[in-house]
Chains A and B, each alone.
Chain A
């Protein structure tokens, strides 16, 4: 596999400044499952500090460019890590820097995350949720080998109304099979992503 254009690292104390800038981009936050919140710099600092110091149940990473600059371009997480039932929530991914929103860093980050979840954390089930009409998440999840498990009706209140949320999951056996088939090689994943994006548009 060719070298990834990004790498993950743990949060640093001063990451809160960039994260806060991205979080307060409400245009972007409209499409997440969580509630819209106004977060002060001080709160953000405390939040980043908490994520730095507790990495058993939730794991947060800064996504950085692998080009020597080590510039942080976004962050992502695996949440609710449950070692008893060997499952975790596939946290959202924020590519905050506009010049890096070409989709490649996003796909690369998802590959690293799944690899970590299965090959380091030894999990069995990764689940994710998304707004059904989200511009990229459903195609992204399908491309990664997730399957749609159902639609949770009126699951969140957002943008003035109750909204449905779709539930997705990928099991270890799916992941192993897809790995064997080379799905997680970047060029193949890009093709799959384009294929599912086209299918979703038709619907």
Chain B
């Protein structure tokens, strides 16, 4: 089955748009980064340094419309781990139905485990984030720590939860067919309803 989206190397003409999204307080409200204005220079480390990998997310159609961006961060080649960076969809509403979101996460995991051959992916996440947490759990991430008052954002110190998935867990779930889109959607919906955290 063809994906409805693609992760692509960021093209120079899209960089300004992405820097704008990175500066948007609404889009960045629940990320693990401070909210600050960005431009081509401030985001250059995301592109130039080998410990980060930035992608643009585009629709898998003829015009390849830009709908978001995502990244892997703090790629550590000795310990074979990385942080699952921000995933932002900023296009029109019809790209934010959750389907492209799940596809993007799956493509990222695939790249991290199968191309980069990493061993561990970790994801810090707002303690009660209504979307990220069911998404991470649906993909088989496990909660491993509560980082108290980890950062100051939106007027308060925020406690973040740390989730992770190991390569062998990813392989097992993949071989067991658990990463088929229908299964992922079912699990996501079920976890979201059950309010498992």
Please count the residue pairs between chain A and chain B whose beta carbons lie under 8 angstroms apart in the complex.
Answer: 66
Q: Determine if A150 and B144 form an interchain contact, defined as CB atoms under 8 angstroms apart.
A: yes
Residues of A within 8 A of B145 (CB): 149-152, 167
Q: Determine if A125 and B148 form an interchain contact, defined as CB atoms under 8 angstroms apart.
A: yes
Most chain A Cβ neighbours within 10 Å, of B79, B81, B147: B79
Residues of B within 8 A of A85 (CB): 34, 150-152, 157
Residues of A within 8 A of B166 (CB): 153-154
A171 at the interface (CB under 8 A from B): yes
A182 at the interface (CB under 8 A from B): no
A86 at the interface (CB under 8 A from B): yes
Given A152-B164, A154-B120, verify A35-B78 contact (CB < 8 Å): yes
Q: Determine if A155 and B157 form an interchain contact, defined as CB atoms under 8 angstroms apart.
A: no
Which of A86, A157, A167 sits near B152, CB closer than 8 Å?
A86
Given A35-B78, A84-B34, A124-B157, verify A154-B119 contact (CB < 8 Å): yes
Q: Determine if B149 and A150 form an interchain contact, defined as CB atoms under 8 angstroms apart.
A: no
A75 at the interface (CB under 8 A from B): no
Residues of B within 8 A of A162 (CB): 79, 119-120
Q: What are 19 A-B pairs at a CB distance below 8 A?
A: A35-B79, A84-B34, A85-B152, A86-B152, A87-B150, A87-B151, A125-B157, A150-B143, A150-B144, A150-B145, A152-B162, A152-B164, A153-B142, A153-B164, A154-B81, A154-B120, A154-B166, A157-B119, A162-B120
Residues of B in contact with A, size category: 20 to 34
B124, chain A: closest CB distance, angstroms: 11
B96 at the interface (CB under 8 A from A): no
A156 at the interface (CB under 8 A from B): yes
Residues of B within 8 A of A86 (CB): 152
Contact bitstring A65-100, B, C-beta under 8 A = 1, else 0: 000000000000000000011110000000000000
Q: Determine if A84 and B152 form an interchain contact, defined as CB atoms under 8 angstroms apart.
A: yes
In the complex, A156→B120 CA distance in Å?
10
Q: Determine if B120 and A155 form an interchain contact, defined as CB atoms under 8 angstroms apart.
A: yes
Q: Determine if B122 and A167 form an interchain contact, defined as CB atoms under 8 angstroms apart.
A: no
Residues of B within 8 A of A124 (CB): 149, 152, 157
Q: A35-B78, A85-B151, A85-B152 are in contact. List 18 more A-B contacts (CB 8 A).
A: A35-B79, A84-B34, A86-B152, A87-B150, A124-B157, A125-B157, A149-B145, A149-B148, A150-B146, A151-B144, A152-B122, A152-B144, A152-B164, A156-B79, A157-B80, A157-B119, A162-B79, A167-B145
